[in-house]
Amino acid sequence: MTEILILVLLILISIIAAIYAVLTKKTINAVIASGVISLMASIIFLLVAAPDVAMTEATIGAGLTTVVFLYALKHVKGGEDD
């Protein structure tokens, strides 16, 4: 029962982060929200007994992709909102 509640909570956090990523005006906030979504997905994979997929998602999805996006944002000239 507790595991189901944790899964529901993680899914709700993912949905809220996805909505925030779409609606936010600042690109950096959208990138961070995307990283949160990937991190929640990796925790969900871990809870449903898929540790190999969880490690891959955490490493590539939450880690590497977020870092690459933040690096690219640093080197791209932004507008007033960025």
Q: Show Cβ contacts of residue 35 under 8 Å, excluding neighbours closer than 6 positions.
A: 62, 65, 66
User: Of 71, 38, 72, nearest to 56 (Cα)?
Assistant: 38
What is the C-alpha separation between 44 and 42, in angstroms, rounded? 5
Query: What pLDDT digit, counting tens, does each position of 14-72 carry?
Result: 999 999 999 999 999 999 999 999 999 999 999 999 999 999 999 998 899 999 999 99
Confidence of residue 81 (pLDDT cuts 50, 70, 90): low
What is the C-alpha separation between 45 and 70, in angstroms, rounded? 25
The dihedrals phi and psi of 78, each to the nearest 5 degrees, come to -105, 170
Confidence of residue 5 (pLDDT cuts 50, 70, 90): very high
Tokens of 74: 């640093």
Boundaries of every domain in the chain = 2-75
